Structure 1
Amino acid sequence: MSDLLDLKNGSDIRGIALTTDEHKANLTPEAMENIAWGLVHWFREQKTGPLVVGIGRDSRITGPTLAATLTKVFVTQEITVIDFGLATTPAMFMATQFPEFACDFALMLTASHLPYYYNGVKIFAKSGGAEKSDIEYILTHPTPLTPEIGGKSQQADLLPSYSDFLVQKIRDGLAPEISNQQQPLKGLKILVDAGNGAGGFFASQVLQPLGADTTGSQFLEPDGYFPNHIPNPDNQKASESIQQAVLTHQADLGIIFDTDVDRSGIITKSGKILNRNNLIAVLSRILLEESPGASIVTNSPTSDHLKTFIESLGGRQVRYISGYRNVINKALDLNKAGIDCPLAIETSGHAAFRENYFLDDGAYVVAKILSLLPSLQKNGQSLDDLIADLGQPADVLELRLKLQSNQPHALGTQIINDFSDYVTTIPGWQINPENEEGIRISLGAPDGFGWFLLRMSLHEPLLVLQIENDEAGHLPKIRQKLAQFFSSYPQVDLAPLTNQ
């Protein structure tokens, strides 16, 4: 049981599914069988009698075996399993909403952007995604149950239904003067980079029916070894790959998905990467036009410029704890309290809209943007124009400092607490009280003008340090002052900070 708990990864399950020379598998078929029984117990806590459970997977090579293990257990428990094969995480949630499938629960086998030897399980009920407490329950209830009759397995293709849903959403979002066009993207060249994950369908089943030319799209074929680049919109090499494709093919837009399509990134016609603060800004502009004065929930590591930009549009930014379930739950709480909050989004690209079940869905993000594209094109504008007023820092730095301790969280918390005292001794540094995670510092003279955030990593034994400065050339001095503070903590690996 304790070994199973090692697979807990926030609000999903994740582990090494394939033994390599450097890594030993812990998400084995045997472990997955125990997880399957935990899932059955969790299902039965919520609903008795016959159940329908959907199972989908990304392109990872261990997906079919792990899916078969889940199915083997479920069919002994009066459960109808719908094997959707290749699918996406948001599509699997929609399998609980689409009437043609009407799944009581849905499971997606994926480890997001992690290397090919990882895999995991994301879990949905009709009401939404599993919480951290649900995962702990599942992993601590591996006891087999008495067989029940009535279980069976069948196959179905989910992606056509999900694609039709996205196509209709794009058409519904068009400006009134073009709302009757069946191919509103005709004349536009739009490229997709699926990173050999599950997102290749978007080119043929969403963009092409809307009239777009997708010639030049890349890495659409599923390949669980991810041979071309990490399928991660937040990865520099991956973003540069689709960026170069857009410029080479003179495309109007580039789209990059992560492996399971719950995140996406956008490349504009000029080659500008719309990710992190830039993507949040574009979506905030869209949502604040639809919901004037609304609040936008983000995670902590967003720029001061983003806050200014959102406020200039009449909105309010709510910075909250990193983790996509954290920002989504914060948005849900705000709406319950009567505060208009249509969007929860992380700098990593996880974005969830109230109008879409607060589901983090990279394809839906793209759909919202594609609805704007024909009107922008008609008016001689571009996506770049939407965030022309968003300030950009001169210097950006992110460092990850490993904590060599048996209790890394306690050590990291102590360091952050001690750092608040150190800040008071440094001219121009001030603690920013508008922060819910770690410690955020506003920078002033003599160290330029900007901010930095020191926080614990969500899943790894390390501190994350993120710095932005509007004046170039100050990073060496700031790093030196930070190294002076950290030198009192021998358990912190300072190499990333001192190796300039």
Structure 2
Amino acid sequence: MNAIAWKKLQNGSDIRGVALDGIPDEPVNLTPEVVARIGQGFVTWLSEQQGKGCEELAIAIGRDSRLSGPDLMSHITTAIAALGVTVYDVGLASTPAMFTSTIAPPLQCDGAIMLTASHLPFNRNGCKFFTAQGGLNKPDITAILSLAEANDITPAPTPGEIHSTDFMATYAAQLVEMIRQGVNHPDHYDQPLHGLKIVVDAGNGGGGFYVSQVLQPLGADTTGSQFLDPDGMFPNHIPNPEDETAMAAICEAVTANQADFGIIFDTDVDRGAAVDATGRELNRNLLIALIAAIALREHPGSTVVTDSITSDGLTQFIEQDLGGKHHRFKRGYKNVINEAMRLNAAGEESWLAIETSGHGAMRENHWLDDGAYLVSKVLVELARARLADRTVTDLIATLQEPAESMEFRLKIKTDDFKTYGNEVIAALTAHAEAESDWAIAPKNYEGVRVTCTDAAESGWFLLRLSLHDPVIPLNVETNVAGGVAKIQARLLAFLQQFDALDLTPLQP
């Protein structure tokens, strides 16, 4: 245990590690014993934060479908109960449901833990932590890992009780009621999705509950739904709405079953994406536009916060077509959510914070990034559109989509990658300022974003430093065919001076 590099288990505001053997050069560092100590570190931290003794605390614990989940769950549950804490074992769960367990009856726990590594490979696992104030932030995770490493823990004279609970049913029932009230169907109030065929792809993660506990009680025909059974090997595709194979699978399911709508979730259901009746992806900028249209109809003139790589067409749609304000911020779902909360505290009304990855949070839902909640908001609109003899995508009919869009990930081959990466960004900034047909975008909070005004390029690019990895991602988007290649060639010529930058992805 002393050989564990505790700090390396931190991944921003989460904990991630290798929980199973099976992939070369990836030794296990998230053992059941390590997870047990992390759980006890969380209890110690929570006790200090809330000013309660451990025996006064109640904590809910859930997991996704990973193979390592049951063993890690058993160890962390026992370890936390050993401190006198009352533990609620939720079993297979979604990340949003675990947050909800801190605010909703009958549990209203002091804290919650979700064992998940989102869309990462089968050998990974991790922990996400919640209180009633939301997900923990980076400094909190650092503190919990320090407590776990110190291991200054005293077991209680009497262990706390462990209760198994089907909290997922409570969480699903909230979504059902939200959709019923939102649609307010004049003829089928209890089953407002009656007559709609909706297929779900859960990717063998934890999202299968949405079919049996949300859609079917609401009257939807879910014939054609796929990969609903939990399977930690993820045999069909990566459960990730950003994955091309995954999106192709749900698009095919929609068209093959002549469905009205398709839904896909990631492993722990904090992200989702959709497909319309024609088989078109409603993902990334399209999904943001759709949710923004709904949010701005409910809260006119408010601000939509997104990450840094959203399109210029989205900005035009939000500000000119919807009459809202687009605040483009940094990558990282916690960054986007925290920025929206900051704006509200400063007096600038914001109701939606959403990343192009699909992480989206709404003020009305406690700023929780909840894929099932966002999808449910869209389903309300789908049912209302059907009643009005229109389609849900009519809401985004005026959104201007780019002709081409690409992301290139350039690896940095030096240990001090952050310093080197920032030097590259600074040099490119100076270079772009000197180019007559390139202009630095105003109000940019991450890396360097450049508008390309030449008619053959007609677009923009963003070069930024990855949040955690020795990588500089480059996003390029243009409104003309061949525009990406032209911008790509100019950037390649400039970046060749940086020897520690792997430019292979930019090579034609």
Q: 1:51 to 1:434 in 2, by over 3 A?
A: same
1:52 partnered with 2:61: no
Amino acid at match of 1:10: G
Equivalent position of 2:38 in the other structure:
35
How many angstroms apart in 2 are the aligned matches of 1:199 and 1:120? 18
Equivalent position of 1:290 in the other structure:
298
Q: 2:266 aligns with which of 228, 240, 258?
A: 258
Q: 1:171 aligns with which of 158, 164, 180?
A: 180
How many angstroms apart in 2 are the aligned matches of 1:203 and 1:92? 19
Counterpart secondary structure, 1:185: coil
Equivalent position of 2:194 in the other structure:
186
Is the CA contact (8 Å cut-off) linking 2:240 and 2:266 kept in structure 1?
yes
**1:392-436 Cα distance to aligned partner (Å, 9 max, x none):** 111111110011111111111111011111113434111102210
Q: Percent identity?
A: 48
Is the CA contact (8 Å cut-off) linking 1:298 and 1:347 kept in structure 2?
yes
Is the CA contact (8 Å cut-off) linking 1:427 and 1:445 kept in structure 2?
no
Is the CA contact (8 Å cut-off) linking 1:15 and 1:26 kept in structure 2?
yes
Distance apart, 1:337 and its partner CA: 1.2
The 5 A counterparts of 1:243-282 are 243-282=251-290
Q: 1:140 aligns with which of 142, 146, 150?
A: 146
1:461 partnered with 2:470: yes
The 5 A counterparts of 1:320-469 are 320-469=329-478
1:110 partnered with 2:113: no
Amino acid at match of 1:28: T
Counterpart secondary structure, 1:401: strand
Amino acid at match of 1:263: R
TM-score normalized by the length of structure 1? 0.97
Q: 1:157 aligns with which of 166, 170, 185?
A: 166
Q: 1:124 aligns with which of 105, 124, 130?
A: 130
Distance apart, 1:33 and its partner CA: 2.7
Amino acid at match of 1:301: I
Is the CA contact (8 Å cut-off) linking 1:171 and 1:179 kept in structure 2?
no
Distance apart, 1:180 and its partner CA: 6.3
Is the CA contact (8 Å cut-off) linking 1:92 and 1:107 kept in structure 2?
yes
Counterpart secondary structure, 1:440: strand
1:16 partnered with 2:25: no
How many angstroms apart in 2 are the aligned matches of 1:51 and 1:228? 40
Distance apart, 1:446 and its partner CA: 4.9
Distance apart, 1:150 and its partner CA: 4.4
How many angstroms apart in 2 are the aligned matches of 1:338 and 1:348? 27
1:71 partnered with 2:82: no
Is the CA contact (8 Å cut-off) linking 1:427 and 1:446 kept in structure 2?
no
Equivalent position of 1:202 in the other structure:
210
How many angstroms apart in 2 are the aligned matches of 1:382 and 1:407? 51
Q: 1:418 to 1:233 in 2, by over 3 A?
A: same
Distance apart, 1:152 and its partner CA: 2.0
**1:209-230 Cα distance to aligned partner (Å, 9 max, x none):** 0000000000000000000000
Amino acid at match of 2:246: A
Is the CA contact (8 Å cut-off) linking 2:459 and 2:483 kept in structure 1?
no
How many angstroms apart in 1 are the aligned matches of 2:368 and 2:328? 19
Is the CA contact (8 Å cut-off) linking 2:179 and 2:376 kept in structure 1?
yes
1:99 partnered with 2:69: no
Q: 1:179 to 1:296 in 2, by over 3 A?
A: farther
**1:350-370 Cα distance to aligned partner (Å, 9 max, x none):** 000000000000000011011
Q: Structure 1 stretch 425-434 or stretch 55-64: which is displaced more?
A: 425-434
How many angstroms apart in 1 are the aligned matches of 2:253 and 2:185? 32
Is the CA contact (8 Å cut-off) linking 2:263 and 2:273 kept in structure 1?
yes
Q: CA RMSD in A?
A: 1.3
Distance apart, 1:442 and its partner CA: 0.2
How many angstroms apart in 1 are the aligned matches of 2:241 and 2:74? 30
Is the CA contact (8 Å cut-off) linking 1:298 and 1:319 kept in structure 2?
yes
How many angstroms apart in 1 are the aligned matches of 2:105 and 2:445? 40
How many angstroms apart in 2 are the aligned matches of 1:364 and 1:375? 17
How many angstroms apart in 2 are the aligned matches of 1:345 and 1:141? 32
How many angstroms apart in 1 are the aligned matches of 2:379 and 2:506? 41
Is the CA contact (8 Å cut-off) linking 2:305 and 2:329 kept in structure 1?
yes
